[in-house]
Amino acid sequence: MEILQYPLDGQTLLRKKLKLKKELSVRPELIEKRIAVLGGSTTNEVVDQLELFLLDYGIKPVFYQSEYAQYWQDAMFGNPELDAFAPDVVYIHTNWRNVTAFPTTQSSKEESDRFLAEQFTHFSTMWEKIAERYRCPIIQNNFDRPNYRLLGNSDISDHRGRSNFLFRLNQLFYDYADTHNGFYINDIDYLSAAYGLETWGNPLYWNMYKYFLCLDAIPLLAKSVADIIKSIYGKNKKVLVLDLDNTLWGGVVGDDGVEGIQVGPEVPMGQIYSEFQRYVKDLKSIGVLLAVNSKNDEANALAGLNHPDGVLRPDDFVNIKANWDNKDRNMVQIASELNLGADSFVFADDNPTEREIMKRAELGVAVPVMDKVENYIRTIDRGGYFEVTSLSSDDLVRVRMYQENAKRQVLEKSVGSYDEFLESLEMKATIRRFEPIYINRIAQLTNKSNQFNLTTLRCSESDITAMADSPDWLCLYGKLEDKFGDNGVVSVISGEKQGAELHMRLWLMSCRVLKRGMEDAMLDTLVSDAKAQGMEAIVGYYYPTPKNGMVKDFYRNMGFALVSEEENGSTTWRLALDGYVPKGPHIQIQR
């Protein structure tokens, strides 16, 4: 919904929240998550606004709110209501006013360090208790600054200054986040600076309502928390699709020629476009795929991308559509060729007419307002489309993987038969029990895979770790590589043992390796391991969604027998392990 995109109009969001909630609540495919908000200040409006952003991201939140300023007590000691709530996420909404002891002007360096250690322990002990009790992701605000500096400019450098103290305390929080999976910082230090510290921390709102920030800024804070939650649960966008003329460079390459477009150091506007290109190229390093959707002759488009002062080059993009077709039609084609849903795309185009056409096509594409080139980076960055909560090894090489996949498609078209194509790939699969090094990627897959996903169970890293550590679960991941490169972890299966049956709670695979036999390799290995653990049958479940229809008959095709079918299309299947004949795909399996 456009009103929930950057730039935010806080007053409008506060005023129209009930109407917006009603509109958003009827969206299809909402996944329900229980969010516990433990506040060091008033949280009512924070929760109301957080609900809007989460609904817009496809998450239906159910909330628990602590009593005013009872965040630490709830976390440390729990209570029957919170324990019964069993949160999927805990958000700790604190700020500098919740620091219980600051150094004074009389404090020695040793005393300041002791205060710092005590304050950090106050929070870290709480985090450990939450992790132990609820085994779920934790989101913690860092600290904004007070809107005064007792020591003036020295407040940031003197150990007795509150600014210095909070700066050092924040760093301890960051070090903790860096070493603890499932722990995330909501950066209100940045948010308050971007919003304007004096307005953000207006003491009127604290003294009258016990809100530590002004009301108009609450939507900004709520969006930031929602960005983290939607990233944890795989709701990030995956592809940035860009126009060219007046988006990646100034001018129209078809009219002005390559030498006439603005990019590079020669003119101020060219420098701004170059800076945007550099930012876009940097997005590749966090796993964002880049594509072009431009009304242009392809030759002119490629010439512009090869401008000697440009930062981006044609091989930075996994797909280039430069033609005179409607851009919404091009977008559908790009999605098909990448085997991704168009709702995982962001469309950046300077032309308001093209943006409106894309929105009216209702493909689910995010369409930010690209009004002025000097705002382009800020618009994409603060949109939160590609929020990073983790960077797996697969994220770092995702562009390369898609480029390698294009080579496979060329090979497939050149061979005589599909079996010959599969054999020529020289595939090797590593299939093993869940390992700590891949927990992050496995959790990502459960949240990002929509088409080849039989149960659509969404899991956090804590959930995956709990499965891996339990003797009651049989969990396998699969990596696939071939002569063109390593596809990384592409398949996950996880079953819960009940007597002599293994009930499948997760069965999913990345669509980029469809029809290569990986599903056969996974089943062969699963059956072998299940037999070794005394299982006699595997029970599989299919829960239909608007996106996973492609696997409706998966179990039937794999040799399972139908047990039952419900009115909503959900089905249960069973495979007796005695007499199972391995599929034997064109893959060498390594354990």
What are the boundaries of each domain within the chain? 2-232, 239-382, 416-590
Question: What are 133-153's pLDDT values in tens digits?
Answer: 999 999 999 999 998 999 999
Model pLDDT for residues 320-336, shown as the tens digit of each residue: 999 999 999 999 999 99
Q: Residues 169-202, buried b or exposed e (16+ Cβ, 10 A)?
A: bbebbeebbeeebbbbbbbbbebbeebeeeebbb
Q: Is the pLDDT of residue 17 over 90?
A: yes
| Separation of alpha carbons 352 and 460, rounded Å | 38
The CATH class, in words, for 2-232 is: alpha beta
Above 70 in pLDDT, residue 161?
yes
Q: Give the pLDDT of residue 472.
A: 96
Q: Is the pLDDT of residue 405 over 80?
A: no
The pairing of strands 485-498 and 473-482 is: antiparallel
Whole-angstrom distance, CA of residue 478 vs CA of residue 522 = 7
Q: How confident is the model at residue 215 (pLDDT cuts 50, 70, 90)?
A: very high
Residue 393 has pLDDT above 70, yes or no: no
**Domain formed by 416-590, architecture:** 3-Layer(aba) Sandwich (3.40)
Mean pLDDT taken over the chain: 94
List the 89-93 sheet strands across, edge first.
Answer: 59-65, 31-39, 89-93, 138-141, 183-186
What are 139's two structure tokens?
């989101």
Judge whether 87 and 34 are in contact, CB under 8 Å: yes
More confident residue, 404 or 359: 359
Query: What confidence category does residue 531 fall into, taking pLDDT thresholds of 50, 70 and 90?
Result: very high
Mean local confidence (pLDDT), 582-587: 86
- What are the tens digits of pLDDT across the range 367-377? 999 999 999 99
2-232 shares its CATH topology with 239-382:
yes
Fold of domain 239-382: Rossmann fold (3.40.50)
Distance in angstroms (rounded) separating the CA atoms of residues 321 and 242: 10
341 vs 220 pLDDT, higher one: 220
pLDDT over 70 at 48, yes or no: yes
Please name the residue that has the structure tokens 């091009």: 330
The pTM is what?
Answer: 0.82
Digit-coded pLDDT (tens) for 299-314: 999 999 999 999 999 9
Does residue 78 register a pLDDT over 90? no
Q: Residue 547: pLDDT band by 50, 70, 90 thresholds?
A: confident
Looking at residue 377, its amino acid is I
